[in-house]
């Protein structure tokens, strides 16, 4: 699937033809040999953001997007704190289980 780069003039020609001649988007798609969803997007951008917005390149990753892949490394200090907290919680959990067992044994 190839990506076409349409000029601003071409986009304006299509959008103005749709608007001035009340041309349905499906017919404009056939007339100009451009996908229906592409023409629908151009028309939406034209109506919501104006003529200038049709010239903005919208493909690719936007600045500030989150990049997937490896998570960032955790600092050694934070890692050690998390390990210590995990050990403390395990000991607390074991203590509470033993206490619960003693309470149940004493109740019988």
SS3 readout for the chain: CCCCCCCHHHHHHHHHHHHHCCCCHHHHHHHHCCCHHHHHHHHHHHHHHCCHHHHCCCCCCCCCCCCCCCCCCCCHHHHHHHHHHHHHHHHHHHHHHHHHHHHHHHHC
Same domain membership, residue 79 and residue 51: no
Instruction: For residue 96, tell me if it sits in a domain.
Output: yes
Same domain membership, residue 76 and residue 49: no
Name the residue range of residue 93's domain.
Answer: 72-108
Asked whether the beta carbons of 34 and 14 are under 8 A apart, the reply is yes
68-to-65, 71, 83, 88 alpha-carbon distances in Å: 9, 8, 26, 33
Identify the band that residue 100 occupies on the pLDDT scale cut at 50, 70 and 90.
Answer: very high
Same domain membership, residue 51 and residue 13: yes
- Stretch among 5-9, 48-52, 71-75, 94-98 having the lowest mean pLDDT: 71-75
Instruction: For residue 89, tell me if it sits in a domain.
Output: yes
Instruction: For residue 60, tell me if it sits in a domain.
Output: no
Same domain membership, residue 76 and residue 46: no
pTM over 0.95: no
Please write the tens of the pLDDT for every residue from 9-67: 999 999 999 999 999 999 999 999 999 999 999 999 999 888 888 888 877 766 666 66
Domain tally, the chain: 2
């Amino acid at each position: 699937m190839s990506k076409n780069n349409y000029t601003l003039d071409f986009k304006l020609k299509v959008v103005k033809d749709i608007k001035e001649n009340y041309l349905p988007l499906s017919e404009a798609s056939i007339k100009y040999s451009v996908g229906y969803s592409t023409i629908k997007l151009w028309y939406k951008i034209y109506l919501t953001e104006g003529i200038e917005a049709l010239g903005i390149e919208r493909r690719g990753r936007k600045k500030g997007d989150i990049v997937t892949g490896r998570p960032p490394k955790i600092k050694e200090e934070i890692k050690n704190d998390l390990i210590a907290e995990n050990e403390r919680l395990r000991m607390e959990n074991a203590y509470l289980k033993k206490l619960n067992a003693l309470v149940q044994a004493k109740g019988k």
